[in-house]
Amino acid sequence: MNNPITLTIDGQSVTVPSGSTVLDAARRLGLNIPTLCHLADVKENRPSCMACVVRIGNDTRLSPACSTKVTAGMVVASETPEVKAARKAAMELLFSDHLGDCISVCQRVCPARLQIPAAIRLVAAGRMREAIALVKENVVFPGVLGRICRAPCQAGCRRGKYDGAVAIQLIEREVANQDMSAAEPFLPACAPPTGKRIAIVGAGATGLSAAFFLMQDGHHCTVFDDHAEPGGQMRYGVPETELPRAVLDGEIEVIKRLGLELRLNTRLGRDVHLAELRRKFDAVIIAVGNMQKTDPAGLGVEATARTIRIDASTYQTSVHGVFAAGSAIRSGYDPARSVGDGRILAECVDGFLKGRTHHVAHKEFTSTIPKMPLEEYQELAKGSVATLSVRELITEAETAAGRCCHCDCRSAHNCRLRILAENYEVDPKAYMGEHRRKFEFIRQPAGVIFEPGKCITCGICVELAAQSRAPLGLTFIGRGFDLKIGVPLNGPLADGLQQVAEDCVRHCPTGALTFEDELRNVIKNSSRP
Amino acid sequence: MTMPDANHEAFVDRLLERTGLLPAATIPILQGIQHEYRHLPEPALRRVSEVTGIRLSDLIGVATFYHQFRLREVGLHTMRVCHGTACHVKGSENIHNHIHRQLQIYDGHDTCPDNEFTVERVACLGCCTLAPVVQVDHTTYGNLTADTIGVMVEDFRATRHETIADVDTVASRRNGHGAEIRVGLGSCCMAKGSDELFHLLRRIVKDFGIDAPVKRVGCVGMCHQTPIVEVRLPGGPVAFYAKVGPGEAEGIVRRHFRPMSVRRRFARWIDRTLEQLVTADGGLEKISRHTLDTSGKAVTAFMERQIRIATEGFGEMDPLDLDEYLAQHGFAALGQVLGRDPEETIAAITKSGLRGRGGAGFPTGVKWLRVREAQSHDSVKHVIVNGDEGDPGAFMDRMLMESFPYRVIEGMLISAYCVGAEEGYIYVRAEYPRAVSRLREVIRRMEERRFLGNGIMGGKFNFKLHIFEGAGAFVCGEETALIESIEGRRGIPRMKPPYPSDCGLWQRPTLINNVETFTMVPWIVRNGAAAFAAHGTEKSKGTKVFALAGKIDRAGLIEVPMGITVREIVEDIGGGVPNGKKFKAVQIGGPSGGCIPSALDHTPVDFEALASAGAIMGSGGLIVLDEDDCMVDMARYFMSFLRDESCGQCTFCRIGTTRMYEILDKICQGKGRRADLDELTQLAALTTQGSICGLGRTAPNPVITTLRYFRDEYKAHIAGRCPAGKCKPLIQYVVQDNCTGCTLCAQHCPVNAIPLTPYRRHRINTDLCTRCDVCRVDCPENAITVMSGGVECPGHSHTEPLPEPLAKHE
């Protein structure tokens, strides 16, 4: 059986043992054929997802690479535009019958890209120290935003349509408060110094936020501002009744402790000039905020009457190495957006300093649940952690956190369908049909959550359960479009899965099976090459 | 959890003694339980799992895959509404709605409030010439209209305790004089009451002491004329009587035979007179109406183009009579084959040019040779007869299995001997109980006489034959899904290669051929490859059996030479479209096939020619469509069928068919956009190339051909008009000026959408109207027309004849 067989894939010759599949051969060549339903040694020759199709010879059909055995002299087309289009279509069809939000609405609309549901899960679990760390991965001013943000997240909260939005802003504020009143407020670790120096003009939300993240990357940051104190609009544009200065000072203090160099009472165009900064520093950030006091023409970068022109994908201005963000590039002031801009800017500048061309991912891939009827909201509400209310010493924030339905996907960070969808630039709405599945949320005793709407009926869990000889097991129920996976006689999933639950959750290619305590489904800010 | 129930346990234990405990017995076990309880009670399933070790997940997986099984309890009686192609074009959707209304079943339920009836959809009952058809328990009612549904329900309630003796239990009898009265007893003839007639004729003949046996014969083919009685007298002319009702039986007998004994005749006369007084049923004078002049133009036209190879001896032979089969060269071919080198026989089959009649047209001889040459891991090979005829609108295989069971098996035995197989299966579709019972009986007789079992025909050839009853899944017509099904699993097609010829049932080399293919084999062996190849075209040899139904004057089963044109079939054999309507298209090849427009009716029936026209030969369903049929609706109908019948395994088929259906539905509702046509084309292409099995790959064909030939109709729908007047959201019923105010429409409207206005022109409230068509059919003045987009739909302007009388069979 082990006579080697030679075949050609996309013009490259490869030799594999007989009995191998086209997928094996392609992987040997380093070709990344996408697979969802395939699980080596567990589920073979029962292809279902069709994400791995290839064209064999002149066949008019496409064949699934995972289940097609190689033959001598076989000629396979794998990474051709036509084959890739079919793979993409297979995934788009799967998405048309895949009901779930990869990223929750609240997080999607947050200009500061706060990881809301994940942070709420930590709060709900009482893990406040981890919560602040997670929040500060994106938002350096949670105390400030917890008070003055316009909170689009709450307007988007799915629970809002049911019985009122979750008090996300309150939770954010509480996380910040607890951190600040701690003996040792959270301080992120910094990478070893890179020796690179960055000049940041403007000590407002954008500039300070950018400094915070760039210092963590190991760069030295100098912030220039014409005011006597840092904080920009947060200090000089917001009344103290709305934002106590102690909160602002506390959060700025954390930034300072990372090694920030502040050059106050210094005005760009008067005390320092852009050309000079560009000469002395490795990169320059213009985050001067509202341009009313600044003459854009005098700055030395391309600008319109009110805003500085940037390349939307790199945040770079017309001058090489000079970046701009915040209110300087848009009309109107939104503190959350300014904070978020600082974060994105940091990525861009870090990329620039490390010699990478960094492109901002404006939109992370997500599938979306279309309009939901009331009964589905009720189903959705099952996702909240009701048990919280009996805990002692419960804070207001924890109560609020308990109301979150966690409509985001707990597998968003490792869902294979989502990862492939990003690679193939899938449009999840391409084949959106009239009828969709019902939203169902099934909490299982062993801490497993089953969301049938996300299941792509790949059968991996059915197979794992069968091979473990679990007495009840899982099964395919029905056929055709109504095919679904379930436990025989409507038993609980835990009965069907028993000892293989963990395996099944691990191998589920989507978020149909997840663990309830999957707290940090953090999607790293993605960047595309 | 339901408590274990001692009754269930005892029943299951008894059942398992019969079926055995192996996983392969899963489907027969579930069938046994379903038969007993009419659903699958949980305690019974748990008991099965406990005793056999088959996991509950596997039992449920199988039970939910096949239509036959139900996990919920059902009503006292099951009413199965046929939604086959022929029934669809004749209004099965309306019939279904009327039944729901009549039985007060609303809101997605399927059982009426008093639990008397559960109403189910069934893909096809194979009685296409009686469309529309409903089966209530074991009684089949055909030619239904909205008005006769009540009659059907009442008739069923009144007669459900009466049972008619099974015609197949009657022993075959012959006499020396050659006089015979033949009654065609195929399933669809029986649905028109031919079995009742058969028993009645037997009683009359017995009472009169006439020395002529009443003989059960197979399908006569002229389904449009059933029940057919043929009277043969030695030396005398042959007389045919068509559409014979019970009242006419005696007259027919009396016309040809003289009662023997005066005393008997007198006793009989008293009986009949009394009965006639009660029923006021005239006898003799009615007969002439039914006399079928076989030399007449209609019959000649129907018969003369036909060539009998698979259906040799049609309408003459008793399907169950082994001696008669032997007398008609039965098993002569097998005898010849057993005496020579199998390769010689295979060479002859190859030379004959016979290609698989299941649809794909693979050369039969080549397949046999492959199986013969394949190595089996334990030197065992299998032969399977694929009798899972699932195409709605096709019933050829059912007819062949019912009428020529010996021939089917003879063909199979020949192949088994050639490929070296000693065990085989006939896989018969769940909806064909008559075929199953006849095959079982025939197998029993053959085993008794050593045509099956060990030492067949006194030689060394052994063969064990099993019957496997399908459980209701169209996809099991696909050979690898069929194999999965026999092995006791969900009918999910396997990846090919390996092909069954190398690795099939139980991983052994397996020959699978369609019923019709096997049926042709004995004739080829007896008459030689050249005689077979003399018929047909260059690449498609021999004949093909078709089920001709739909909007056609003479529907029936026909066997025609390959190469005959569509027009010849429709016009010459079928007598064209009735009621003066225009022939629009033929749907050929079932859900995997396509619609060939009337403009292409010169297309020859040949594998390649049909494929290039966008259709396929398929198994042989041929539904004629007229101007009343909406082609977008046809495409939607097939897509709805395929969406339900897809096994659900691969993405393109599972989701692609559904999305195509949704787009077609949207277009039929008048909500389509121009861009939808592009999306349809795109989805069709994807599903064709990306699906795993034949079902998925051919599923888009109905969409592709209708888009190709009837694009204008799609565009009309998008513009808000259904030219055929079929798509309900796009049509209105309008009362014209010639209304006399007779109030019939108002009285018959099931939703009170027509206010009663005697002697005045009636008006239809379009908001209430459900477009059920009752008023238009009932209007004596033809004053009600169908309008779409402000234009009258021409198809509906013609007068339709009175519907045929309700057909019924127990």
What's B756's domain CATH number? 3.30.70.20
Burial of A241 (0-12, 13-18, 19+ CB in 10 A): exposed
What percent of chain A has pLDDT above 70? 93
pLDDT band at residue A448, thresholds of 50, 70 and 90? confident
- Looking at the structure, do residues A241 and A339 belong to the same domain, yes or no? yes
The answer to whether residue A527 is domain-embedded is no
Residues of B in contact with A431 (CB under 8 A): 655, 659, 679, 683
The answer to whether residue B319 is domain-embedded is no
- Looking at the structure, do residues B154 and B172 belong to the same domain, yes or no? no
Q: Does A236 touch chain B (CB under 8 A)?
A: no
pLDDT band at residue A358, thresholds of 50, 70 and 90? confident
Residues of B in contact with A62 (CB under 8 A): 689-690
* Mean pLDDT on B302-318: 90
- Looking at the structure, do residues A158 and A225 belong to the same domain, yes or no? no
Is residue B768's pLDDT more than 60?
A: yes
Higher pLDDT, A283 or B800: A283
Give the number of domains in chain B: 6
The answer to whether residue A521 is domain-embedded is no
Q: Can you name the residues that pair with A201 across neighbouring β-strands?
A: A224, A286
- Looking at the structure, do residues B350 and B478 belong to the same domain, yes or no? yes
- Looking at the structure, do residues B154 and B171 belong to the same domain, yes or no? no
For the stretch B50-91, pLDDT in tens is: 999 999 999 999 999 999 999 988 899 999 999 998 899 889
Q: Check residue B377 and report its DSSP letter.
A: T
Contacts of B346 (CB under 8 A, 6+ apart): B365, B368, B369, B372, B418
Beta strands in A330-465 (DSSP E): 442-443, 448-450
Contact B490 A97 (CB under 8 A): no
Higher pLDDT, B195 or A526: B195
Structural domain boundaries, residue B686: 543-718
- Looking at the structure, do residues B154 and B263 belong to the same domain, yes or no? no
Contact B651 A50 (CB under 8 A): yes
Structural domain boundaries, residue A478: 416-515
Q: State how far residue A53 is from chain B, nearest Cα, in angstroms.
A: 8
The answer to whether residue B316 is domain-embedded is no
Contact B55 A473 (CB under 8 A): yes
* Mean pLDDT on B19-23: 94
For the stretch B707-759, pLDDT in tens is: 999 999 999 999 999 999 999 999 999 999 999 999 999 999 989 999 999 99
- Looking at the structure, do residues A333 and A209 belong to the same domain, yes or no? yes
A70 to chain B: nearest residue by CA? B497
* Mean pLDDT on B451-466: 96
The answer to whether residue B305 is domain-embedded is no
The answer to whether residue A522 is domain-embedded is no
Contact B57 A61 (CB under 8 A): no
* Mean pLDDT on A15-24: 94
Tell me, what's the pLDDT at A525? 41
Report how far Cα A186 is from the mean position of its chain's Cα atoms: 23
* Mean pLDDT on B112-129: 89
- Looking at the structure, do residues B677 and B571 belong to the same domain, yes or no? yes
Is residue B802's pLDDT more than 50?
A: no
Residues in chain B whose beta carbon is closer than 8 A to a beta carbon of chain A?
Answer: 42, 45, 55-61, 64-65, 473, 475, 490, 492, 494-495, 497, 643-652, 654-659, 662, 665-666, 679, 683, 686, 689-690, 692, 697
Tell me, what's the pLDDT at B116? 92
The answer to whether residue B320 is domain-embedded is no
A471 to chain B: nearest residue by CA? B55
Report how far Cα A496 is from the mean position of its chain's Cα atoms: 32
Contact A435 B658 (CB under 8 A): yes
- Looking at the structure, do residues B363 and B345 belong to the same domain, yes or no? yes
> Where residue B589 sits, what CATH number does that domain have?
3.10.20.600
Separation CA A506–CA B30 (nearest Å) = 35
Of the ranges A436-450, B389-403, B553-567, B680-694, which one carries the lowest mean pLDDT score?
A436-450
Of the ranges A278-287, A453-462, B5-14, which one carries the lowest mean pLDDT score?
B5-14
Tell me, what's the pLDDT at A444? 77
Of the ranges A75-89, A111-125, B272-286, B666-680, which one carries the lowest mean pLDDT score?
B272-286
Separation CA B56–CA B445 (nearest Å) = 38
Taking the CA atoms of B298, B299, B305 and B310 in sequence, report the sign of the dihedral they define: positive
Tell me, what's the pLDDT at B1? 40
Preceding peptide of A428 cis, ω within 30°: no
Contacts of A444 (CB under 8 A, 6+ apart): A450, A492, A493, A494, A501
* Mean pLDDT on A43-67: 92
Of the ranges A237-241, A308-312, B352-356, B565-569, which one carries the lowest mean pLDDT score?
A308-312
Average of per-residue pLDDT values in chain B: 89
Q: State how far residue A413 is from chain B, nearest Cα, in angstroms.
A: 24
Contact A431 B57 (CB under 8 A): no
Is residue B3's pLDDT more than 70?
A: no
Tell me, what's the pLDDT at B584? 95
Contact B651 A49 (CB under 8 A): yes
- Backbone torsion region of residue A265, taken as left when φ is above 0, otherwise alpha when ψ lies between -120 and 50, otherwise beta: left
Tell me, what's the pLDDT at A378? 85
Of the ranges A445-459, B456-470, B719-733, which one carries the lowest mean pLDDT score?
A445-459
For the stretch A478-508, pLDDT in tens is: 999 999 998 888 877 777 776 788 889 999 9
Contact A480 B643 (CB under 8 A): yes
Higher pLDDT, A254 or A307: A254
A485 to chain B: nearest residue by CA? B61
* Mean pLDDT on B648-669: 96
Contact B56 A488 (CB under 8 A): yes
Is residue B279's pLDDT more than 50?
A: no
Q: How far apart are the first and last CA of chain B?
A: 40
Separation CA A181–CA A247 (nearest Å) = 11
- Looking at the structure, do residues A201 and A347 belong to the same domain, yes or no? yes
Tell me, what's the pLDDT at B175? 64
Separation CA A118–CA A408 (nearest Å) = 9
Q: Reduce the secondary structure of A397-429 to three states and give it as a string.
A: HHHHHHCCCCCCCCCCCCCHHHHHHHHCCCCCC
Q: Check residue B171 and report its DSSP letter.
A: P
- Looking at the structure, do residues B86 and B58 belong to the same domain, yes or no? no
The answer to whether residue A180 is domain-embedded is yes
- Looking at the structure, do residues A314 and A451 belong to the same domain, yes or no? no
Give the domain-ending residue among B718, B739, B768.
B718
Are β-strands A283-286 and A197-201 bridged in parallel, bridged antiparallel, or unpaired? parallel
- Neighbouring C-alpha atoms within 13 Å toward the C-beta of A370: 13
- Looking at the structure, do residues B46 and B179 belong to the same domain, yes or no? no
- Looking at the structure, do residues A446 and A487 belong to the same domain, yes or no? yes
Tell me, what's the pLDDT at A492? 76
Tell me, what's the pLDDT at B206? 86
For the stretch B134-172, pLDDT in tens is: 999 888 888 888 888 988 999 888 887 666 778 888 877
Tell me, what's the pLDDT at B232? 86
Check if the beta carbon of residue A340 is closer than 8 Å to that of residue A109: no
Give the domain-ending residue among B718, B742, B767.
B718
Of the ranges A399-408, B16-25, B246-255, B256-265, which one carries the lowest mean pLDDT score?
B256-265
The answer to whether residue A100 is domain-embedded is no
The answer to whether residue A444 is domain-embedded is yes
Check if the beta carbon of residue B186 is closer than 8 Å to that of residue B128: no
pTM as predicted: 0.90
CA dist list (Å): B429 to B66, B538, B558, B646: 11, 33, 21, 17
H-assigned helices in B455-514: 479-486
- Looking at the structure, do residues A280 and A372 belong to the same domain, yes or no? no
Tell me, what's the pLDDT at A399? 76
Is residue A452's pLDDT more than 60?
A: yes
Element (H, E) at B43: helix B42-52
Higher pLDDT, B298 or A139: A139
Separation CA A35–CA A23 (nearest Å) = 9
Preceding peptide of B498 cis, ω within 30°: yes
Separation CA B723–CA B420 (nearest Å) = 57
Check if the beta carbon of residue A319 is closer than 8 Å to that of residue A114: no
Which among B695, B779, B771, B701 is positioned nearest to B733, based on CA atoms? B771
Is residue A91's pLDDT more than 50?
A: yes
For helices A168-180 and A245-257, give the axis angle rounded to 10 degrees.
60
- Looking at the structure, do residues B679 and B756 belong to the same domain, yes or no? no
The answer to whether residue B308 is domain-embedded is no
pLDDT band at residue B806, thresholds of 50, 70 and 90? low
Tell me, what's the pLDDT at A434? 76
Size of interface A-B (CB pairs under 8 A): 134
Q: What are phi and psi of A470, to 5 degrees?
A: -55, 130
pLDDT band at residue B295, thresholds of 50, 70 and 90? low
Give the number of domains in chain A: 4
Tell me, what's the pLDDT at B268? 61
Q: Check residue B573 and report its DSSP letter.
A: I
The answer to whether residue A209 is domain-embedded is yes
- Looking at the structure, do residues A46 and A68 belong to the same domain, yes or no? yes
- Looking at the structure, do residues B465 and B572 belong to the same domain, yes or no? no
Of the ranges A396-405, B386-395, B478-487, B700-709, which one carries the lowest mean pLDDT score?
A396-405
